[in-house]
Amino acid sequence: FPSKLTFLITFTVAAVSGEFPNHKVVLKSLQEVEFECKQYLRIPADAEGDCEPRCEQILLRAWTDCHGFRSVPFGRHFHPDHADEDFLNRTQLCLDAALEDVLEEEVCCQSSLAWQCYRDQYGNPRQVPQLAPMPDILVRSTVEDCARLLQINDLELTLYALTRFDVNDRSHRLLRCIVIRQGLYGDVEGPNVDRMFVQGGGEEIDETSFRENARECVEYLRRECHDNSTLATRIVNYCFPPGSGPGTIALVNTVFPRVGSLIGSVHDLVRILRNLDPLLKPLVPILAGPQYALNTEIHNNLLDPQVDSLIP
């Protein structure tokens, strides 16, 4: 009983305070990952190993050996001077020059040089833990958790993923659950734009435009007075670039292998497609995907007919 009471009090305080609950969110600081990596790599506290920066960036989810360095999540761990308007360009020039002659397989060297450029050119290290973007495996786990919580079967999950979760009340509730458990959304606060930007990478998107577009779009959709689940779905689908929400690639990788277990033969496949056909035909506009443009005026013009066609 005491543990249940403690949980209830904690949950109530978090809800009243309006803060985003962490759920499955991972927050890491530079100091934490340095301590962890020295343990993993058996490096003395007063020394620095050759591959330690790579280890730290992996834990911060700012590095993979396949795709290399991710500037947005790593940059969140540094605080540029308010008067410094050139820190981004200067850091990028440093990276370009430092990595120019480094071989692709020299991953430890690459990550070490990236760390040095950010320390020297970007700003001072932050002490506060920052968001570590969710990897695909954690996104898949979140989707599966929410599907189980809401008693959604594999066939439903397939349909919802194909239609970006904008097909009925159950699909809306599922996507709302996913983004809440990812720490990306709250009914009162709306989307956490900073986390959306970091989770989506933001490597090719100007952050100022990203934020302004999101703000205008969210305000527009709030005026439509949707219920909480529908509003969350429309905000995720229409106000952010594909992939910055619940992880498009991870969702597909989660859904289709599970559905494969349902299809035991060609006969079963044909039967399932016939069952889905009357459901999918009216959804062609949704299957084509929501329009997205960084220019807020263009974006809202694109949004008008899409939202009007979906409002009951």
Q: Give 68's strand partners.
A: 64
Q: Are 145 and 60 within one domain?
A: no
Check residue 243 and give its pLDDT: 52
**pLDDT over threshold 50, residue 99:** yes
Q: How many CB atoms lie within 10 A of CB 248?
A: 16
Please report whether residue 240 resides in a domain. yes
How far is it, in rounded angstroms, from Cα 70 to Cα 182? Answer: 20
Return the structure tokens found at 131.
């968001």
pTM above 0.85, yes or no: no
Q: Is residue 128 part of a domain?
A: yes
Categorize the per-residue pLDDT at 2 as very low, low, confident or very high, splitting at 50, 70 and 90: very low
CATH of the domain at 298: 1.10.238.20
3-class secondary structure, 167: coil
pLDDT at 98 over 90: yes
- Inside any domain, residue 107: yes
In a domain, 15, yes or no: no
Is 262 found in the same domain as 213?
yes
Same domain, 119 and 164: no
SS3 (DSSP) at 174: helix
Q: Are residues 116 and 170 in the same domain?
A: no
- 279 and 169 fall within a common domain: yes
CA distance 108 to 68: 11
Greater pLDDT, 162 or 87: 87
Q: 171 and 114: one domain?
A: no
Mean pLDDT for 21-33 is: 87
Cβ neighbourhood burial of 307 (10 Å; 0-12, 13-18, 19+): middle
Note down the domain range covering 214.
Answer: 136-310
**Could you say which of 81, 100, 132 is where a domain stops?**
132
Of the candidates 88, 112, 132, which is a domain's last residue? 132
Are residues 260 and 187 part of one domain?
A: yes
Evaluate whether 174 touches 147 at the Cβ level (below 8 Å): yes
| Same structural domain, 247 and 284 | yes
Clarify whether residues 114 and 166 are in a common domain: no
Identify whether residues 147 and 94 lie together within a single domain.
no
Q: Average pLDDT, stretch 191-204?
A: 80
pLDDT of res. 1: 42
Residue 6 lies in a domain: no
Lowest-pLDDT range of 110-124, 181-195, 221-235, 246-260: 246-260
- pLDDT value of position 295: 52
Across all residues in the chain, what is the average pLDDT? 77
Based on the structure, what is the number of domains in the chain?
A: 2
How many whole angstroms separate alpha carbon 115 and alpha carbon 7? 40
Is a pLDDT exceeding 90 seen at residue 111?
yes
pLDDT at 20: 55
In a domain, 14, yes or no: no
Asked if the structure places residue 18 within a domain, the reply is no
Which among 49, 60, 27, 41 has a CA at the least distance from the CA of 112?
Answer: 49
- Same domain as 300, residue 152: yes
Residue 259 has pLDDT above 80, yes or no: no
Would you report the helix, strand and coil content of the chain in percent, each value rounded to 5?
Answer: 60, 5, 35
Residue 171 within any structural domain of the chain: yes
Res 19: pLDDT:
52
Strands 63-64 and 68-69: antiparallel
Q: Is the pLDDT of residue 204 over 80?
A: no
Output the CA–CA distances (angstroms, integers) from residue 95 to 53, 67, 100, 110, 175, in the order listed: 15, 15, 8, 9, 38
Mean pLDDT is lowest, of 76-80, 115-119, 221-225, 268-272, for 268-272
pLDDT at 201: 57
Provide the pLDDT confidence category of residue 226 given band limits of 50, 70 and 90: confident
Residue at which a domain ends, from 97, 112, 132: 132
Q: Do 144 and 102 belong together in one domain? A: no
Share of the chain above pLDDT 70, in %: 68
